[in-house]
Amino acid sequence: MRCPCRKKSETPTYAACCQPLHLGVRPAPTAEALMRSRYTAFVMKDAAYLLRTRHFTTRPARVDFTPGLEWQMLRIIATQTDGHEATVEFAARSRTDGRIHVLHEVSRFLRVDGAWLYVDGVIKA
């Protein structure tokens, strides 16, 4: 199975891409890799991974998934890393009730004890 975080024209499989991160076999080496793995966790409704990879200062008590929402595509627009801080700008397309939606966000990440964690994001218009 092609990894959901990749374009249809790319070949990385889930087993080679995001699955090792989801299983805790290895940490995400970059903020972009964590962003991709979190997108895939949303596709697969893996709430435990989403909570585990969220910074403790902004971690919610639980993750709720929108019924009927289908994630369709992730596009990384830009990444920037400065030491233990990083941002990833992305656009994620989803569909619900036959309507297409695009989430365009600049996400902020921190590296804590060698592991990248999602902190928060600013949604772009």
Report the distance separating Cα 121 and Cα 111, nearest Å: 16
Strands 115-123 and 70-82: unpaired
What is the CATH number that goes with domain 19-123? 3.10.450.50
Segment 30-56, tens digit of pLDDT: 999 999 999 999 999 999 999 999 999
Phi, psi of 95 (to 5 degrees): -135, 135
In terms of Cβ atoms closer than 10 Å to its own Cβ (0-12, 13-18, 19+), residue 15 is: exposed
pTM for this predicted structure: 0.96
User: Taking 90 as the threshold, does the pLDDT of residue 8 lie above it?
Assistant: no
Report the distance separating Cα 22 and Cα 41, nearest Å: 8
